[in-house]
């Protein structure tokens, strides 16, 4: 069964590459069981979502190029070609332009959405609009987003090897949102903040992440955890670069649970944590701001003692590791031939981790 699924996925990818080469436009392929549909142009993602099954299990594969954002209301998996072009790693740039909302607006729960391998030139809105349509079991992998908002009750959500360029705040226009079991693993929060999460049961876990709040100004609204309740944050094996200002809201919320971390601010009182000057944390001497050219390797003169509670190094290279390459197969070569009314496709492909 797994071999058949991989073969279908490779066929879908070949069809996507072929259509892209012939038309030079953005292509979305929708895989429903053994059936494959192809959609073209900026609206291709929206068209594929409209045609996807309400029952779940469909897979949408996006070519490189730019797609207009749409609302995801069905349990689908969406795979792009990557969030950055990197010839050495075989990734291309898939861009979704606009705000991408995941969740229903009819007060029913949406479960089991998977997003991977694209750049979102807008906001990822987690949950349906304004406290309607709870969301659960969302997985976001190797996605770069300008910012994120929580718009309704959400639970059991994971972000793996993602880059969040802006804040991840609650949408206050819709009232206080509850987020439960939100897990960020090996992620870079380049301009990090978690603001306006007032519900006491909300929880955010950052494990092997870089949380850079240094961009925020010395103002009440700029504080990285402004108007969020105590005990919101659980920081593990991560790097926290503090916001401007001192004390109070410019640090983590009172009652935060912090272990095995590095920070450029006073981190005394927490378990196995280290206070280090900001320019001494990384090998390149820079802060936590994202750049595609940076590796975020730790300072080799100090890193031997910076070990997390899982016996791997603190930061994004420990834990599950760090890679920008999505899990879709990469086609190394492809030849096409016509035999009567049949199109024969011969290809060489390999899976990626």
Chain segment 69-101, per-residue pLDDT in tens: 999 999 999 999 999 987 777 678 999 999 999
Using DSSP, state whether 347 is helix, strand or coil: strand
d(CA 42, CA 243): 38
What's the confidence (pLDDT) of residue 85? Answer: 87
Cα(9)–Cα(115) distance, integer angstroms: 16
The partner residues of 32 in beta bridges, in order of sequence, read 35
First to last CA, the chain: 20
Provide the residue count of the chain.
Answer: 353
* pLDDT for the residue numbered 245: 53
Name the maximum alpha-carbon separation found in the chain: 75
Q: Parallel, antiparallel, or unpaired for β 59-62 and 27-32?
A: antiparallel
18 pLDDT above the threshold of 70: no
Q: Are 301 and 313 in contact (CB under 8 A)?
A: no
Cα–Cα distance between 262 and 74 in angstroms, integer? 40
Would the pLDDT of 337 be above 80? Answer: no
136 Cβ neighbours under 8 A, 6+ residues apart = 109, 110, 111, 154, 155, 156, 157
Q: Where is pLDDT greater, at 202 or 300?
A: 300
| pLDDT tens, position by position, 173-232 | 655 566 778 899 999 999 888 888 877 778 889 999 999 987 665 454 567 888 788 788
d(CA 37, CA 18): 14
SS3 305: helix
- Cα torsion 13, 19, 21, 23: sign: negative
Going 275 to 204 to 144 to 237, the CA torsion angle's sign is positive
Residue 15, phi then psi, degrees to nearest 5: -60, -40
pLDDT in tens, 217-249: 545 456 788 878 878 889 999 999 886 654 444
pLDDT on residue 33: 85
pLDDT bucket at 150, cuts 50 / 70 / 90 = confident
Buried-exposed string 89-114: b where 16+ CB fall within 10 A, e elsewhere: eebbbbbbeebbbbbbeeeebbeebe
Beta strands in 186-304 (DSSP E): 188-189, 204-207, 210-212, 233-236, 239-241, 257-259, 262-263, 274-275
SS3 301: coil
Q: Tell me the pTM.
A: 0.86
User: How would you class 46 by CB atoms within 10 Å of its CB: exposed for 0-12, middle for 13-18, buried for 19 or more?
Assistant: middle
């Amino acid at each position: 069964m797994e071999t058949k699924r991989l073969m279908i996925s490779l066929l879908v990818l070949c069809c996507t590459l072929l259509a892209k080469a012939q038309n030079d436009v953005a292509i979305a392929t929708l895989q429903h069981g053994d059936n494959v549909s192809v959609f073209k142009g900026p609206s291709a993602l929206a068209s594929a979502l409209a045609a996807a099954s309400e029952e779940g299990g469909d897979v949408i594969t996006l070519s490189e190029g730019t797609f207009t954002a749409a609302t995801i209301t069905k349990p689908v998996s969406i795979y792009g070609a990557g969030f950055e072009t990197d010839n050495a790693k075989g990734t291309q740039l898939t861009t979704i332009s606009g705000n991408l909302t995941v969740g229903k607006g009819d007060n029913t729960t949406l479960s089991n959405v998977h997003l991977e391998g694209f750049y979102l030139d807008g906001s990822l809105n987690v949950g349906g609009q304004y406290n309607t349509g709870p969301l659960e079991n969302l997985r976001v992998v190797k996605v770069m987003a300008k910012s994120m908002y929580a718009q309704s009750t959400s639970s059991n959500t994971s972000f793996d090897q993602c880059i969040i360029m802006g804040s991840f705040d609650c949408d206050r226009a819709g009232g206080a949102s509850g987020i439960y079991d939100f897990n960020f693993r090996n992620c870079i929060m380049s301009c990090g903040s978690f603001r306006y999460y007032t519900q006491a049961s909300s929880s955010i876990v950052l494990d092997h992440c870089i949380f850079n709040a240094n961009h925020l100004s010395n103002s009440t609204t700029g504080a990285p955890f402004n108007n969020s309740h105590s005990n919101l944050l659980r920081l593990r094996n991560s790097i926290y670069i503090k916001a401007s200002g001192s004390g109070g809201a410019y640090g983590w919320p009172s009652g935060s649970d912090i272990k095995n971390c590095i920070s450029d601010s006073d981190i005394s009182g927490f378990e196995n944590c280290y206070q280090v000057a900001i320019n001494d944390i990384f090998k390149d001497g820079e802060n936590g701001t994202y750049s595609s050219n940076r590796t975020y390797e730790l300072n080799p003169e100090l890193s031997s003692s910076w070990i997390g509670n899982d016996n791997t190094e603190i930061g994004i290279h420990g834990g599950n590791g760090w890679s920008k390459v999505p899990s879709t197969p990469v086609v190394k070569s492809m030849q096409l031939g016509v035999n009567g009314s049949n199109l024969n496709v011969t290809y060489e492909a390999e899976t990626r981790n």
